[in-house]
Structure 1
Amino acid sequence: MRIWLALLLALVSVRAEAADADAARLLLTGDIMLSRQVSREIAARGGLSPWHGLRDVLRGADLVLGNFEATVGASEACEAPKELCFAVDPHLVPLLKDAGFTALGIANNHSGDLGEAGRRATREALQAAGLGAIGSAESPAFVNVRGRTIALISLNLVAGRDGQIDRLPSWQVAQKLRLARSMAEWVIVSVHWGKELADWVVPEQEAGAKWLIGQGADLIIGAHPHVVQPPACVDGKPVFYSLGNHVFDQKYPQTKRGLIADCEINGDRLVCGGLDTRTPEGSAYPALAKAQDSSPTSLAQCPVKAGTPLRVAGQAISPWIRNGAIASDRLVLEGRAEASRWRTPPRALLSAEAGRLAADQPPLLFTLERHASPIDGEDGPRPYVYEVTGHGLVAKWRGSALAWPLLDAALVADDSGQSYLCALHRGDSFIMLDTATPSSTRTQVYAWNGFGFTGVTDGDLATRCAKRFDHGG
């Protein structure tokens, strides 16, 4: 009996160790700025990394993401006021990789300090250092963490020098979240928002968080206030409204406190907590706080279950990602079933979903992909329909034009479960194109006829379609 009990306990221990081995740790930090006094301190300390006190913590995680609030380039290129232009020497970028970072969000009000050339230089410098560079244009990006697919989205709601900004709510952001939700088990949104130096959450942040979660976000991390704001469990999802400064040179006492979102994926659950950091006066080098504050909101009671992967005709479809890579603008899709596995060529995917487009046929894969028109060269979204087989995708319809120029498209279903194409069109037409000026939009429902789409005038479907794109709702 004792032998059997010992064997049972040993088996339980092995299973527990196996479960722990599958657990993944995600660390997400606040604002990082390697310019001004930060770069001077690095030089004064002989090139010592600002993360020398946190390197073991960060390197021990499976995914480390921060907000890179700066632009790679020469400070001489800064326009006035120069003290608010965060130009970073490219030689400092490898410090981020050495610290343990996996990717950096580059959607914020300082990403455009050196114009479009600076944005391009920032992406190139981060990628050359082996880091994912995720701005709004690169969102969603996908990473594989211990066999789980995680989508990363980076948004900026605070206008900078070049005026580039994302808006909530909007069909553009909703489209990013729709693709992320269909391709990943968890969706993380990094968003630059809020009121600077305010340690309280403003109503716009609360409304934005609820909308993002309603569109599919599982975890939200915020930046821009430069001080920590209390995290909360919103509609069952953890929201870190502001993680404060991580590596920055601001001098106010509150800006010397930071928070690292510390999340663990175990099995099919993601649970988050926080690690408090403190930066000494006169320095920009953070360290873990000696006494960790307890979060005012019990995020431990806010677990997030893994999303259901896209499945069509018995095939699980997800992005194929090379080990250690971040996949974004051109995705390779992989299909998996018990007896088959296939991959597609890279494609500029905007959305993907399954639908029963005909009542007497199995579900098909509907995608929206970005391609240049062979007629006029205009780059835009094109709808595709694929049959999913054990050997790959078979195109049933290849991106032909609909009635008007297209902005977005998704599927809507009638009461019987049959799916229809719901299109959000621009207000202009193919006869009188007008892409240079803002115009109104229109929605239209189309039915699949076996070799293309035909417009339908069903009132109930038209209403459902209009609601589908009511500010991305």
Structure 2
Amino acid sequence: MQKKTYLLFVFILLLFGIIGIILINTIDNSSSTYKEVRSNSGRDKGNLAKEESSEITLAAIGDILIHDRVYNDAREGNRFNFDKMLDNIASELKKPDLLIANQETIVAGESIGLSGYPAFNSPHEIADSLKKAGIDIVTTANNHALDRGVDAQKLSLDYLNQIGLPHVGTYLSKDDQDKVVVLEKKGIKVAYLAYTYGLNGIPIPEGKEYIVNILDKKRMSNEIQKAKKEADVVVMMIHWGNEYQRFPSNEQKELAQFFVDEGVHIIFGSHPHVLQPIEWVKGHNGHKGLVVYSLGNFLSGQDEEYRDIGGMVTVTVKKKQLGKQTSITMEAPSFYPTFVSSKAEKDYKMYPLQDSQHAINKYSPSIYKEIMEHMQKEGQAD
């Protein structure tokens, strides 16, 4: 009898432990879900209509910022292998139905010469590895988009097109720019938009204003309204904020409010190179949007404080359709923090932060708890 009681006690402890792990990876706040109901055009079939439902997981990771020390470490003879850097987390990257990354460096390849900071150009193989690891689409609208000029940008986009990796934010033509990038999974259409605050002072050639989406409220409003007509969910990838600041600026918060007021569902931010918190923002007419102010660096050569910690934010989206009414529900996001380990600018490898002895050695045994709490600080402004 005592043995049975002991085994039952152990089972209960294990059960609570599992529940605790699940909860700690969920970003919790008082507004953890959002439901939106729309009326569609067409004849209402009333009670005879059959309810249809589906759900997907949308996710994003931060900056793929390939410094020269990173691609030199990936070099294997006459090619580059970034797979080994991602191996420890690749299974996690394959879990979401749709995953987007910020490809911060162009991937024009060796034909024009590889380069790191301040004017980046990366090997083709980083794009290959991202696609292999589970990335479904990349945003290319960032301050390094024209680091090596318009021709280099074209080579980069040509390669992404060649391997079938969708991209958003930079374009080869005005026609391309005018098309909303929509990906569909399980009957749910997701529109991806992307903009950057600037290009490090590099001017856009006259007549080629289409090559990069620069922040412009009128254009953004028009594109958001167009995206809402073509998709169930609108995702904004935005390059903004101040580098190395762990909390959003007032400008970020004001722009986030603008996006939500316009009807954007999810905002994924980049540029600070460190993680910034997640919060729900309420817009007019009751619309709410989820804002991840900064996803930080995902894979990069930066190892300064907090610049080697990033992660993946995942949101579950549910769609229900009955007659001419469609409802979209977004549930509380989960966060999977990651750490980039290296030794003397070599041996770059990514690890789950929770299991990384390297991160514990560098920071503290409580680094995982610290980061999870940081992401729940609801976007307090600097």
1:65 is aligned, of 78, 100, 122, to: 100
Indicate the SS of the match to 1:92: helix
Higher helix content, 1 or 2: 2
Cα 1:85/1:296, change in 2 over 3 Å:
closer
How many angstroms does 1:127 deviate by? 1.7
1:87 corresponds to which letter in structure 2? N
Matches within 5 A, 1:202-241: 202-235=249-282, 236-241=288-293
Cα 1:44/1:74, change in 2 over 3 Å:
closer
The reply to whether residue 24 of structure 1 matches residue 56 of structure 2 is yes
How many angstroms does 1:94 deviate by? 1.0
CA distance in 1 between partners of 2:213 and 2:101 (Å):
19
How many angstroms does 1:285 deviate by? 2.7
2:237 is aligned, of 187, 190, 195, to: 190
1:140 corresponds to which letter in structure 2? V
Equivalent in the alignment of 2:182: 142
- Whether the 8 Å contact between 1:244 and 1:255 is mirrored in structure 2 is yes
Gaps of 5+ in 1: 1-18, 301-473
Indicate the SS of the match to 1:194: coil
Larger-Rg structure: 1
CA distance in 1 between partners of 2:126 and 2:228 (Å):
35
Equivalent in the alignment of 2:9: none
Q: 1:160-208 deviations in whole A, cap 9, x for unaligned?
A: 3533565555211111111011111110000001111111211111111
Indicate the SS of the match to 2:227: helix
2:340 is aligned, of 279, 289, 313, to: 279
- Whether the 8 Å contact between 1:274 and 1:295 is mirrored in structure 2 is no
The alignment covers a number of residue pairs equal to: 280
CA distance in 1 between partners of 2:62 and 2:86 (Å):
14
Cα 1:158/1:48, change in 2 over 3 Å:
closer
Cα 1:35/1:125, change in 2 over 3 Å:
farther
CA distance in 2 between partners of 1:191 and 1:296 (Å):
21
What is the aligned-residue RMSD (CA, Å)?
2.8
Q: Which has the higher contact order (CA 8 A, sep 6+)?
A: 2
Matches within 5 A, 1:73-152: 73-74=108-109, 77=112, 83-137=117-171, 138=177, 140-152=180-192
Cα 1:60/1:295, change in 2 over 3 Å:
same
Higher strand content, 1 or 2: 1
CA distance in 2 between partners of 1:218 and 1:82 (Å):
34
Between the aligned residues of both structures, percent identity stands at 21
Cα 1:184/1:195, change in 2 over 3 Å:
same
2:267 corresponds to which letter in structure 1? I
How many angstroms does 1:214 deviate by? 1.3
- Whether the 8 Å contact between 1:136 and 1:153 is mirrored in structure 2 is no
Indicate the SS of the match to 1:118: helix
Indicate the SS of the match to 1:251: coil
CA distance in 1 between partners of 2:116 and 2:98 (Å):
34
2:223 is aligned, of 152, 176, 184, to: 176
Q: TM-score, normalised by structure 1?
A: 0.55
The reply to whether residue 159 of structure 1 matches residue 196 of structure 2 is no
Gaps of 5+ in 2: 1-50, 172-176, 205-211, 283-287, 320-327, 355-367
How many angstroms does 1:83 deviate by? 3.1
